[in-house]
Amino acid sequence: MSGQEKNPLYHVLKSQQFSRELLDELYEITNKIRRLNKSKEGLDYLRRMLSHKRAMLYFVQPSTRTFLSFLNACQILGIQTSEIRDTTTSSEVKGESIYDTIRTFCSYVDVVIMRHPQAGFTEEIAHYLDQTPRPVPIINGGSGPDQHPTQALLDIYTLRESFKELGGIEDKTIALVGDLKRGRTVRSLVYLLKHFENVRLIFVAPKQFQMGEDIKAFCIRENMPFTESADLESIVPESDAIYMTRIQDEYDANGESKIIDYTAFHFKHDFLKILKPGGVLMHPFPRRLEIDISVDSDPRAMYWRQERNGMWTRVAILVKIFQIAEKILSL
Ligand code: NCD
C-alpha cells in the first residue's frame, strides 16, 4: 500500500466517496486555478507544480471531452502523459489480461485515468492494484452505464457557479432528462446532489429508460424528494436547472432505443419562453438533437461553459490527489 490512508483523495471511483467538505475544497481549488490561468506567470507556476509526475490515459470507450480535458488538465500541471485508446493496439490482443495490462501502467506512471465499458470495473481494478507492491491512484473517467464521478464534480461546479447569486444549489428544482436508466452522468450527479439541502429532483424519461431503482432508493434514504415524468414541456417552468442527455443506445441489447420517439425529450427553442429567467440548461455532451443549436446563444445555455469547467475541475482533482492543494491555495 502507498500513502493512500493519509490522503483524503486517492482513487476517484464513484460519487458516493465525496463529502461536502471535499466538494467545497474542490470548488475553491477550481476557482483558484481559473484565476491563475489568467496570467502567464500563473500558468508557468502551475506547469512546474507536477512536472515530476506521469499519467496514463487508458480510454477504451469513445471519448472526446473527458479524454481531452484530462489530457489538458495534465498539461496545465506539467504532468507527462501516455495513452491507449483502443485495446487492439495493446497486448490485450495477444491474450494479456486487463489486470496485467493495468498493473503494467503502474510500473511507469503515477496515476491512471481510465474509461471502461464495464460497470464497476474501475473499482475492481483499484482494489486489485491496492494488493500489489506498487499501486497508483485510479481515476474513473466513465465506467459503463454506471458512474462518471468526475463529470458529476464538474456539473456540481457548474451548478454552483450558475446559482452563485441565487442562493446556491440549495432549494433548487433540478430536472434530469433523457436516458436516465443507462446515463452514468445523471446517476453520478444524483449522488452528489444529496450534499445540498432541499434539492428537489424531477426524472424526465421515456418509461423504459426511467431512473434506476437503486438511485430512487438512494433518494428516499437521503430524503431527496423526486417525481417522475415523461412530459418535458410541462416541467420546464418549475425547473431551476434542466440537465439534458442523449439516448445511450450503445448499451442496447435488442435495439430497444429504436422504438422510442426521443423527440419528446428534445429541448425545443420555444421552451426558452417558459424557462425561468435564472434557469440553466446543461448537457454533458455529446449532443445529438436534444437541444436545438438555436438555443446556444441564450445566456441560460450553460453547456459550453460546463464543458470548459470540466478541464478546470479535473486540474483541481489532480491537485488534490497529488496533495498540492495547500500550496496552490496559498498563492
Ligand atoms: C458522457 C459520457 O461519456 O457518459 N459524455 C461525457 O463524458 N461528457 C455522456 C454521453 O456519452 O452521453
233 and 213 share a domain? yes
51 and 159 share a domain? no
Q: What is the Å distance from ligand 1's center to 284 Cα?
A: 6
Nearest atom within ligand 1 for CA of residue 148: 4
301 and 321 share a domain? no
Q: What is the Å distance from ligand 1's center to 189 Cα?
A: 13
Global pTM reads 0.97
Best mutation site among 158, 185, 186 for ligand 1 pocket (most ligand atoms within 8 Å of CB): 185
Of the CA atoms within 13 Å of residue 318, those in its CB half-sphere come to 33
Nearest atom within ligand 1 for CA of residue 245: 12
Residue 247 · residue 261 · CB < 8 Å: no
The total domain count for the chain is 2
257 and 206 share a domain? yes
Which spans in the chain are helix H?
20-36, 40-49, 65-76, 98-108, 121-130, 149-162, 184-193, 213-221, 232-235, 303-321, 325-329
Q: What is the Å distance from ligand 1's center to 125 Cα?
A: 21
293 and 218 share a domain? yes
Which CATH number do you get for residue 55? 3.40.50.1370
68 and 97 share a domain? yes
98 and 167 share a domain? no
pLDDT by position in tens, the chain (length 331)? 455 777 889 999 999 999 999 999 999 999 999 999 999 999 999 999 999 999 999 999 999 999 999 999 999 999 999 999 998 888 888 999 999 999 999 999 999 999 999 999 999 999 999 999 999 999 999 999 999 999 999 999 999 999 999 999 999 999 999 999 999 999 999 999 999 999 999 999 999 999 999 999 999 999 999 999 999 999 999 999 999 999 999 999 999 999 999 999 999 999 999 999 999 999 999 999 999 999 999 999 999 999 999 999 999 999 999 999 999 999 8
38 and 100 share a domain? yes
Residue 128 · residue 99 · CB < 8 Å: yes
143 and 157 share a domain? no
Q: Whose CA is nearest to atom 7 of ligand 1?
A: 66
Q: What is the Å distance from ligand 1's center to 249 Cα?
A: 12
Nearest atom within ligand 1 for CA of residue 310: 8
193 and 116 share a domain? no
For the chain, how big is the Rg over CA atoms in Å? 20
Domain interval for residue 211:
149-307
Q: What is the Å distance from ligand 1's center to 258 Cα?
A: 20
Q: Which pLDDT score is estimated for 1?
A: 45
143 and 8 share a domain? yes
